[in-house]
Amino acid sequence: MLRSIAHLLIDPVNLVLLGVAAVYVAQRAGYRRLANYAKALWAGLVFIMMFTPYPVWLTIQQEHQHKPLNLDELPNEPYRVVLLGSGYGRDTLLRPTQRLSMHATGRMLEGYRIYRERAVPLVTSGYSRRGIYSQAEVTAEALLDLGVMASDTLRMDITRNTRDEAKQYVARWGTKYPVILVTDAMHMGRAAGWFRHFGARVIPAPTNFDTQRDHYAPDGDVWDLRFTWDSLKNMERVQRLLHEWAGLAHLKWERRFGVQTVVQPEP
């Protein structure tokens, strides 16, 4: 219940509607000056969210905390690669590679790139909403279509969120081997935090970068920070940022007040 309410509150569209409702209530209650101040504040926030480069700048700060994984810099030791789930379809007439969402496809391809270089086990994750095909199963089948050996795929089929993925991984396979963690660049800070919270040694492998430098720009290595008319894209960025910030707050709360952070591996 609380999770559903939180998801509603971190949606920028719902926040805009909530602000409109608050202004209306203030006007009906006779607080006209307060309503006018709130109206101006809310209009300013909506303008910033939709048309300014500020959401892009915030996304850059969130995404580029970790560099893309350079396999040449990794020591030659055993690893496990964990591909966090990110959505899939249920149309069984499509190939598994076609059923993955765009974010899940990007994560799967990054895992496949690592596998081609190091031939390390790939752990897929994600539950099934209807108890038929899980995210972990569809991702694993997509990897098999690309030529990964079945013996090199492992699955976590009942994980519902990033915390579950981290806790179940450590419970099943322990912390002996470093984890090459593959997820969206936007999500990496929170995901790596949860895995470290449960004792895993994490090597970040971020992918699906929304923001990129323009190395071919006349001014050199620059970010594209301009006012935009692509308001829907900016709103999507704001939504993802709010989601990550809420998740990081949950992680900090559990680190401070959680009862148990050490998970014993299954025998």
Question: Which domains occur in the chain, in start order?
Answer: 2-62+231-256 (no CATH), 69-210 (3.40.50.620)
Q: Is the pLDDT of residue 11 over 80?
A: no
User: Which of the four pLDDT bands, split at 50, 70 and 90, describes residue 266?
Assistant: low
Kindly state the helix (H) or strand (E) to which residue 191 belongs, with its residue range. Answer: helix 185-197
User: Which of the four pLDDT bands, split at 50, 70 and 90, describes residue 124?
Assistant: very high
User: Which of the four pLDDT bands, split at 50, 70 and 90, describes residue 128?
Assistant: confident
Q: Which of residues 122 and 131 earns the better pLDDT score?
A: 122
Q: Is the pLDDT of residue 121 over 90?
A: yes
User: Which of the four pLDDT bands, split at 50, 70 and 90, describes residue 105?
Assistant: very high
Give Cα separations from 124 to 81, 85, 197 (angstroms). 9, 7, 20
In three-state secondary structure terms, 65 is: coil
Structure-token match 């190939």, residue found: 95
Mean pLDDT of the chain: 86
Query: How confident is the model over 43-56, as a mean pLDDT?
Result: 86
Using a cut of 0.95, tell me whether the model's pTM lies above it. no
Residue 203 near residue 70 (C-beta atoms within 8 A): no
CA 41 to chain centre: 30
Alpha helices by DSSP H, listed for 52-155, are 54-63, 96-99, 102-118, 135-145
Q: Is the pLDDT of residue 217 over 80?
A: no
Predicted confidence at residue 198, as pLDDT, reads 93
Angle at 62 between CA 61 and CA 64, to 5 degrees: 70
Q: Which of residues 29 and 171 earns the better pLDDT score?
A: 171
Q: Is the pLDDT of residue 10 over 80?
A: no
Among candidates 252, 254, 228, 263, which has minimal Cα distance to 54? 228
Q: Is the pLDDT of residue 200 over 90?
A: yes
Q: Is the pLDDT of residue 99 over 60?
A: yes
Sign of CA dihedral 263, 265, 266, 267: negative
